Amino acid sequence: MTDPRKILRTRPAGDQHQVITVHVRGPASRRHTKRPCADCPWRVDATGVFPAEAFRHSAETAYDMATHTFACHQAGEQRSAACAGFLLRGADHNMKARMQRMRGHLLQVADGGHELHSCYASMAIANGVSPEDPVLAPCRESDYAVDLVERAKAVAELAHADQVDLAGAPYIKHVQRVATRLQPDPDAVAVAWLHDVLEDHPSHRDAVLGFPPRIVAAVLAITRQPGQNLESYYAQVKANPLALRVKAADVADNSDPVRLALLPASTAAWAWRKYAKARVALGLETP
């Protein structure tokens, strides 16, 4: 019997892992897992199990019209099967997965009650791939990720509707700029849209708490509580990597010379000193 599998490429990923591209023909090509496995890289609680290089090599599975799928590592090359996490969060624009769905082959796939990364870029960035890495640029967002960001944006626009910044400009413009700085990671973008909601408009707390746990945790970490001293606050932010990324973008926008030029000189000088201290306290700059 002819083997329906052919190994096309093998690439090392760190000292203990490799990414294998396998071409599968016939009924075997429809094999898939129905739940994420214990250390599925799409699971938020499995972040850090695999090296960043593995996610760089596999990014092409999330490109528009891709024909390679992201396989379950536990299935192995001999019984390769599409990963359930990938099918739920990374396959919306994958041509092979879409065709399989149209034919009714990818059925009964569920998250098993586990929180998953919202799309490929979010997963890769959480596992150490730089947001600026060019391999992530062609990755398409999942429908889930698009909805996540749109929900966060809607909450922010409602909360900040009548708020202005120190220069008298609509405050939502600041929030939008922070969100833009954090593309292409929709998790970070969603947190950016929400990053000032609880601190400035606590009446919208229930809306924020309705987001996925990782988003809520980051928003809570970036929210300074009444009476909280700065040392405690910055430690709180630094303890959450997603919150720290968003806070770094927030500080960058708040200390942007173009924005400071719109303020009275004394206010601009105060803001510059404030955010210079923040950059040091957050570990973004050395003293």
Residue 177's CATH number: 1.10.3210.10
* 85 and 187 co-located in one domain: no
pLDDT tens-digit readout, 195-232: 999 999 999 999 999 999 999 999 999 999 999 999 99
* 68 and 158 co-located in one domain: no
Compute the average pLDDT of residues 54-80: 89
Q: Which of 93, 110, 136 is the last residue of a domain?
A: 136
pLDDT of residue 259: 94
Beta strands in the chain (DSSP E): 5-13, 17-24
Q: Are 156 and 194 spatial neighbours (Cβ–Cβ below 8 Å)?
A: yes
Other beta carbons within 10 angstroms of residue 36's beta carbon come to: 27
Domain that holds residue 45: 5-136
* 15 and 89 co-located in one domain: yes
Q: How many domains does the chain have?
A: 2
Compute the average pLDDT of residues 174-196: 97
Q: CA–CA separation, 262 vs 161, rounded Å?
A: 21
Is there a domain that residue 286 lies in?
A: no
pLDDT tens-digit readout, 245-277: 999 999 999 999 999 999 999 999 999 999 999
pLDDT of residue 221: 98
Q: Which of 101, 121, 136 is the last residue of a domain?
A: 136
State pTM to two decimals.
Answer: 0.88
Q: Are 191 and 243 spatial neighbours (Cβ–Cβ below 8 Å)?
A: yes
Give SS3 for 113: coil
Compute the average pLDDT of residues 10-24: 84
Q: Which of 6-10, 90-94, 238-242, 272-276 is predicted least confidently?
A: 6-10
| Structural element, H or E, at residue 188 | helix 186-194
Q: CA–CA separation, 243 vs 191, rounded Å?
A: 8
* 194 and 268 co-located in one domain: yes
Is there a domain that residue 287 lies in?
A: no
Compute the average pLDDT of residues 73-77: 83
Q: Kindly indicate the confidence band of residue 30, based on its pLDDT and cuts at 50, 70 and 90.
A: confident
* 268 and 161 co-located in one domain: yes
Q: Are 108 and 132 spatial neighbours (Cβ–Cβ below 8 Å)?
A: no
The yes-or-no verdict on residue 111 having pLDDT over 70 is: yes
Compute the average pLDDT of residues 116-122: 96
Mean per-residue pLDDT of the chain: 92
Compute the average pLDDT of residues 159-186: 96
Is there a domain that residue 180 lies in?
A: yes
Other beta carbons within 10 angstroms of residue 136's beta carbon come to: 21
pLDDT of residue 4: 62
Q: Are 192 and 246 spatial neighbours (Cβ–Cβ below 8 Å)?
A: yes
Q: Which of 105, 136, 167 is the last residue of a domain?
A: 136
* 152 and 128 co-located in one domain: no
* 186 and 269 co-located in one domain: yes
Is there a domain that residue 264 lies in?
A: yes
* 131 and 47 co-located in one domain: yes
Q: Kindly indicate the confidence band of residue 1, based on its pLDDT and cuts at 50, 70 and 90.
A: very low
